[in-house]
Structure 1
Amino acid sequence: MVGPVTLSQVAQEAGVSIATASRAFNGSANRTVREDLRERVMVAAERLRYVPDSNAQAMARGRTTSLGLIVHDIADPFFSSIAAGVTIAAERADLAVTLASTQHDPLREPRIVEVLTRQRARAIVIAGGRRDDSEADAIMTQALADFRRSGGSVALIGQPLLGVDTVVIGNRDSSADLARALHARGYRRFAVLAGPTDHLTARDRFLGFSGALDELGSPVDPAVVITTAFTRDGGYEGMATLLRDGPPVELVFAVNDVMAVGAMAAARDAGIRVPDDVAVAGFDDIVTLRDVTPALSTVRVPLVDVGIAATELALSAPSSEPRLVHVPGAVVLRESTPRRG
């Protein structure tokens, strides 16, 4: 016999129909196979050394062995850290991860979900902060409802806005903790690279940081709150604008680490020394950025653990109400924000 053995050949050898042979291997939601026929199929398969296609088996049962992971930007190390955790948990469940990027376009999200629905993915994990866009959220909520009705399950990392299980990062409380820790180090004049105004994670981090400083009597001057892209280049452009047009400040808080790295690069290019001339802090504590010089003060979020938690949530038994898993951040002070005085 030339080439791999097919299911049709096994069925012919066993003297049964292809449909019966398929049900013997894959099972069926509404039809069973008599035990004597199942035994004939298994004996024929062993004699012909037939190896079932595991993906075909899963499709026959209604679900594949894939898990979809949707992120905003594959190149962003924030998402690569989360992807590492998702992959760990998926491998434990014998699932393969299908990675897709929205490229920061909220309209791509429901289209990706529709593709994963057609592919009958076992589950979907969606990572990244939401936008202040009720219309986009409504479209996404409907797409996820269709996926769940098809038998899939979903978990979100971010704001709990889509009616599904969600891992919620303590953005506002943790950024407030960071502000208090930096104030205790002697800083009084702060600037913020705040990200886009409609980005809810950026907004939460800005409001937590600025709210704590208000309470401490060191409010952030609106003239040094820079709205810019939630990316490394956004941090660079925001810092360049601040250095060119803003009043002098002691410390710049960027609402994520990659923006902070961009800000440090802009300072270097302008001949400004960090931290001697201006201090810089970020948020996330991305592992791949810990070798930045000077070492960056930030808020540590256990991103790999977040990815694991979201995947386990997506694969757990369904619940009548959306479940929330809250993950706090931890302030980490390093050389980019030394004590003053």
Structure 2
Amino acid sequence: MPTPTPDAPAARPAGPVTLQQVAERAGVSSATASRALHGSNGTRIVGEELRRRVLDAARELRYVSNAPAQALARSTTTVVGVVVHDVADPYFAAIAAGAMGVAREHGLLVMLAATFRDPELELDYLARLRAQRARAVVLAGSGFADRDFTRRLATEVDAYRADGGHVVAVGAHGIDSDTVRPANRAGAALAVRHLYELGHRRFGIVSGPRALTSVRDRLDGARRQLRSLGVMLPPAHVVDGGFTREEARAATRALMARAPEPTAIVVLNDVMAAGVLGALRDDLGLRVPDQVSVVGFDDLPFAADLNPPLTTIRLPLADIGARAMDMILTGPTIEARTIDLDAELVIRASTATSRR
């Protein structure tokens, strides 16, 4: 048999490669290999030459770090959980993107989880992330207006903190935590005032599931503004669009069958607003904004491309995710912090002066 030359690479070991094998290939101790690959919280820093030898050996052997073992050693990981309601919803996609951008800059890995608006699943994800020793969790989905759930969530958050984790909430969750708070009430009030200043007095609202605190906040902001302006809002003029285009479409047909027929509709998110516009234009043969004006909420990327382009309330969605991640990077404080982010009215072609 031919004898291997001194420069020939050694064979890759069969089976999973261990840290000890990487250390042997690099000619260093296991402790040195661990510090080179995973960093060190102490004062013993691996020199650049040794670190490069270890990295080269790990690459040659295709070594994969044992993340659970590292978590036990460090009492945490570089993983941050971001819990949303629906990954297909552009609202949550934008928030997650903002969080991921900051995480990438700081070497953190974002684990995205969708609850599909199931509160039990949110509790389950939080418990799983705690068991995995995730560094932090961003609760980016809306809170649930349920006292028993809120109590159980608070208990789970307390347990997470006791294990060294950090929880940041987006919006109202009823828990004592760092919070990034979008201007849901103020944004809905902006929408109402804009329509009122255009002369509208007959309003309808296409809402979402009222078990969600974000929906309640937006609905409360719209109602309060209408009351302050002396405008009546019949209970039958608030319909549930289910946060989907098709449900909002059906809700709009039901709304426009009620007297007095609204001349202005406030829609509590842009996904539903797309369904509202479709129902008014295609199902009911009504012209927007000549006969009915429509205002959405969130200013999702497609809002400007609807027919007509949608007047809406802009929330800084990517900034919401980024600010939540910034709070994680600065670490928890003794007193919970709140960051308030403003809403902005974006006027496009779906609103006009009332002619009725």
Change (3 A) 1:243 1:256: same
Instruction: Decide whether the 8 Å contact of 1:255 with 1:283 is kept in 2.
Output: yes
Report the alpha carbon displacement of residue 47 of structure 1 after superposing the two structures with TM. Answer: 10
**Aligned residue number for residue 204 of structure 1:** 217
Deviation of the 1:159 alpha carbon:
0.7
Match of 1:340 in 2: 354
Kept in 2: contact 1:10–1:44 (CA 8 A): no
Matched, 1:171 2:180: no
Against the structure 1 CA distance between its residues 125 and 247, is the aligned structure 2 distance closer, same or farther, given a 3 Å change threshold? Answer: same
Number of the residue aligned with 2:232: 219
**CA positional deviation for 1:301:** 0.5
Q: Which AA in structure 1 matches 2:147? A: S
The reply on whether 1:302 has 2:302 as its aligned counterpart is: no
Deviates more, 1:57-66 or 1:166-175: 57-66
- Post-superposition Cα deviations, 1:95-120, rounded to whole Å, max 9, x if no partner, equal 12111100111110011112212222
Change (3 A) 1:246 1:47: closer
Aligned-partner residue type, residue 2 of structure 1:
A
Whether the 8 Å CA contact 1:164–1:323 is kept in 2: the answer is: yes
In 1: Cα distance, 2:109 partner to 2:303 partner: 28
Match of 1:2 among 11, 14, 20: 11
Aligned residues: 336
Residue 147 of structure 2 corresponds to residue 138 of structure 1: no
Q: 2:22 touches 2:57 (CA, 8 Å); kept in 1? A: no
Bigger shift: residues 220-229 or 201-210: 220-229
1:97 paired with 2:81, answer no
User: 1:158 & 1:166 partners in 2: Cα distance?
Assistant: 7
Q: What one-letter code is carried by the residue in structure 2 that aligns with 1:49?
A: A
1:116 alignment counterpart:
129
> Is contact 2:92-2:140 (8 Å) kept?
yes
Match of 2:94 in 1: 81
Letter in 2 for 1:90: A
Is 1:253 the equivalent of 2:266? Answer: yes
- Shift in CA distance, 104/68, structure 1 to aligned 2, threshold 3 Å: same
What is the distance in 2 between the residues matched to 1:324 and 1:165? 6
- Report the more deviating stretch, 243-252 or 286-295: 243-252
SS of residue matched to 1:49: helix
SS at the partner of 2:77?
coil
User: Which residue, out of 270, 283, 287, partners 2:301?
Assistant: 287
How far, CA to CA, are the matches of 2:25 and 2:234 in structure 1? 81
Single out whichever of 317-326 and 43-52 deviates more from structure 2.
43-52
Q: CA deviation at 1:331?
A: 1.3
Report the Cα distance in structure 2 between the residues aligned to 1:24 and 1:82, rounded to whole angstroms. Answer: 34
Q: Deviations over 1:290-332 (max 9, x none)?
A: 2111111111101011110011112212201211000110112
* 3-state SS of 1:226 partner: strand
Q: Which moved more, 1:57-66 or 1:203-212?
A: 57-66
TM-score of the pair, normalised by structure 2: 0.84
> Alignment partner of 1:107: what SS?
helix
Counterpart residue number, 1:71: 84
User: Are 2:339 and 1:318 aligned?
Assistant: no
The farther-off stretch of 49-58 and 202-211 is 49-58
Per-residue Cα deviation, 1:207-258 (whole angstroms, up to 9, x for no partner): 2112212221222122211134233333222112112345311011111111
Opposite residue 3 of structure 1, the aligned amino acid is R
Q: Distance in 1 between matches of 2:44 and 2:220?
A: 65
* Alignment root-mean-square deviation, CA: 2.9
Q: Distance in 1 between matches of 2:248 and 2:180?
A: 26
Distance 1:99 1:14, change over 3 A: closer
Q: Percent identity?
A: 38
Query: 2:57 aligned to 49, 64, 68, which one?
Result: 49
